[in-house]
Structure 1
Amino acid sequence: MSERSESPLGDDTDHADAVAGLTQLGLSTYEAKVFVGLHALGTGSAGEVAEVTDVPRSQVYGAAEGLEELGLIDVQAGTPTRYRPLPVSEARYLLFERMKEAGDTAFDYVDSVAGTHADDDDSGEAVWRTDGGENVAQRAAAMVDAAERQLTYGAADVSRIGDAVLTALSEADARGVDVRVASADPAVRAAATDTGVTAVGLAETATPDLSNGRVLVADERAVLLSVLPGAVPHVSTETAFWSDDTAFARILVTLIGEWFAEHLET
């Protein structure tokens, strides 16, 4: 047996993160640890793998069988049986492709059943809520992507107009949507201008009334409003309320449009 490290793998955060990442790609925890251990060894027996990992020797065999079925290791019969891992580049490609295929299959099915049992009258679900800055940004970007004629995007500060939203705004502008970004913050307007999108100013005194977080109105039918922690009691993260193609949304779009008309700098 070759010389081993005094401490088994698994004593640091990077190792734990790698194992967690492999489990998200479909491996069991033991399979992930054995796979990492085999790469540390190059080749190894169950006993050697157990030495450099915290996987019991009795569990190494089952994990190795699973890895073999997935095509991630080669097995050499003998006494003892020895294992060799698939090179990292090949394993990466194999796992990513399988994950993509599984995702495609799942979402194709979801798409095929979408709406098959929907209630034609869903007016009771007119207003939706999204929590968390990243989730709010993704929802805002999706609403920008769906805009066909015109939209206004308002943000209190540059942290509320990140890459996902800027990309969506730029693409909307490129396909002919009348896009404008409104803010009292020069950094927000500069970010919009840098992507070729029209930016307009808001009076500083108007900002707290509406732009605690961000606001989006599109095509006179869709609206999103968000608030930040501290602006509303018991809110611990950015929270957005949005509605699309409802009577509520159209009324709110009109009110926000009037507000913008009053407070936009000329």
Structure 2
Amino acid sequence: MNEADAAEALTELGLSTYAARTFLGLQKLGVASASEVAGVTDVPRSQVYGAADELESLGLIDVQGGSPTRYRPVGVDEARSLLYDRLKSTADGAFDYLEEVRNERPPTEDREAIWLTEGNENVTTRITSLVSGADAEVLFATSEPTLLTGAVAEALVEAADSGVDVTVASVDAEVREAAREAGLSVVAVEEAAPELSVGRVLLVDDDTVLLSVQPTAEMPNVGDESAFWSDGTGFARVLTALIRQVFV
């Protein structure tokens, strides 16, 4: 990370651009006047005063009156704590408000919808979220060893450790062996038709289903893993029952 990256990171923590640059300059100098700060940063001297007022209001610098006025930054650990606490407080307030307005909305038919998630990382996040909500049983199926790693594997193991009945179904011996080593139940299945290009199948309890597809030559419009899923719906209950008959 260079100085420009550090300044940008500080702005993401809530500082204005000039305040971020001024604070970086003060960390270099220790104690300095506005003209000295301007000499080592891209902040005009006339703008250093306003930036210093902002930093002082946040507790990030001390100000010594005189002619000229001099500024001293707090230590890095103290600055980190102050900015993190401020960011957390702001985020907590925003999310509390989101929860408040979410609870005020009228009932809708959203839960009867079928949703689409695109991108491997996004599909993985959705799978781990659905698995974490399991009450009784989870069935996960894939023929790709790379799709039973990382966050997905951890979520399945955590669910099993919490008392959920977790089963991994696969045509691939490597997938089954990885599942066994993780202490999960395993089911061997017959190889699917290659044109189906199924990436991952997830069933949670009796009312949640996720089915992903991978890009293949037969599916040129699919650029990355995509998944449709439904949670707590009549559609999901029917499809869950049908898929479970195939794998179990």
| TM-score in terms of structure 2 length | 0.87
Partner of 1:213: 199
5 Å-filtered alignment, 1:86-235, equals: 86-122=74-110, 126-203=113-190, 205-206=191-192, 208=194, 212-230=198-216, 232-235=219-222
Q: Are the aligned partners of 1:156 and 1:207 in contact in 2 as well (CA < 8 Å)?
A: no
C-alpha deviations, 1:168-217, integer Å up to 9, x for none?
212211121100122344443444344332333444x3274666322211
Q: Does 1:29 align with 2:17?
A: yes
Question: 1:77/1:238 Cα in 2 relative to 1: closer, same or farther (>3 Å)?
Answer: farther
CA contact (8 A) 1:129 1:242 kept: yes
Would the alpha carbon gap of residues 51 and 127 (structure 1) be closer, same or farther in structure 2, given more than 3 Å must change? same
Match of 1:54 among 30, 42, 52: 42
Matched with 1:242 is: 229
**1-side partners of 2:51 and 2:178: how far apart?**
50
Q: How far apart, in 2, do the equivalents of 1:42 and 1:191 lie? A: 55
8 Å CA contact 2:167, 2:186 repeated in 1: yes
Question: Cα 1:155–1:46, aligned 2, differ >3 Å: closer, same or farther?
Answer: farther
Q: Provide the C-alpha distance between the structure 1 equivalents of 2:187 and 2:197, rounded to a whole number of angstroms.
A: 14
Q: Structure 2 regions of 5+ residues with no counterpart?
A: none
Aligned residue pairs total: 247
Change (3 A) 1:220 1:235: same
Q: Could you tell me the percent identity over the aligned residues?
A: 52
Looking at structure 1, the residues matched to 37 and 45 of structure 2 have their Cα atoms a distance apart, in angstroms, of 8
- Taking the aligned partners of 1:229 and 1:85, their CA distance within structure 2 comes to 53
1:21-50 Cα shifts (integer Å, max 9, x gaps)? 222211122222222222122222222222
Stretches of 4+ aligned residues off by more than 4 angstroms: none
> TM-score, normalised to structure 1's length?
0.82
Structure 1 spans left out of the alignment, 5+ residues = 1-12, 262-266
RMSD of aligned residue pairs (Cα, Å): 2.4
Q: Where does residue 65 of structure 1 map in the other structure?
A: 53
Stretch deviating more after TM superposition (55-64 or 155-164):
155-164
Distance 1:58 1:80 in 2: 13
